[in-house]
Amino acid sequence: MKIIISHDVDHINVTEHIFKDLILEKMFLRSMLGKIMGRISWKTCFRRMSMLFYKRMNRIEEVMMYDHQNKIPSTFFFGMSNGLGMSYSRQTAAEYIVKVVNNGFDVGVHGIEYMSQDKICDEHDAFKEVTGMTLFGVRNHYVRFDDETFYKMNRAGYLFDSTWFNKENIELKNPYKIGDMWEFPLHIMDVYVCEEGGLEDGMEKTYKIIDEADAMGIKYLTILFHDYQFDDVFAPDLKCWYMKTIEYCKRNKYEFISYRDAIKELDVESKLL
- Closest distance to Zn ion from the beta carbon of 138 (Å): 12
Tell me the window of 6-14, 25-33, 66-74, 243-251 that interacts with Zn ion (CB under 5 A).
Answer: 6-14
Whole-angstrom distance, CA of residue 178 vs CA of residue 262: 16
**Beta 176-178 vs 181-183: how paired, if at all?**
antiparallel
- Closest distance to Zn ion from the beta carbon of 252 (Å): 28
Nearest CA-CA partner of 85 in 161, 17, 164: 17
Site string for Zn ion, 123-142 (x = CB under 5 A): ------------------x-
Q: Is 106 in the site for Zn ion (CB under 5 A)?
A: no
Nearest CA-CA partner of 245 in 173, 192, 182: 192
Of 4, 5, 8, 210, the one binding Zn ion (CB under 5 A) is 8
Tell me the window of 9-17, 130-138, 155-163, 214-222 that interacts with Zn ion (CB under 5 A).
Answer: 9-17
**Beta 106-111 vs 255-256: how paired, if at all?**
unpaired
- Closest distance to Zn ion from the beta carbon of 79 (Å): 8
Compute how many residues bind Zn ion; rule: CB under 5 A. Answer: 3
Q: Is 190 in the site for Zn ion (CB under 5 A)?
A: no
**CB-wise, 10 or 190, nearer to Zn ion?**
10
Of 10, 67, 123, 237, the one binding Zn ion (CB under 5 A) is 10
> Closest-CB residue for Zn ion?
141
Whole-angstrom distance, CA of residue 249 vs CA of residue 231: 21
Distance from chain centroid for Cα 215: 25
H-helix or E-strand spanning residue 109:
strand 106-111
Nearest CA-CA partner of 82 in 19, 28, 40, 168: 19
What is the rounded radius of gyration, in angstroms, for the C-alpha atoms of the chain?
Answer: 18
Binding region for Zn ion (CB under 5 A): 8, 10, 141
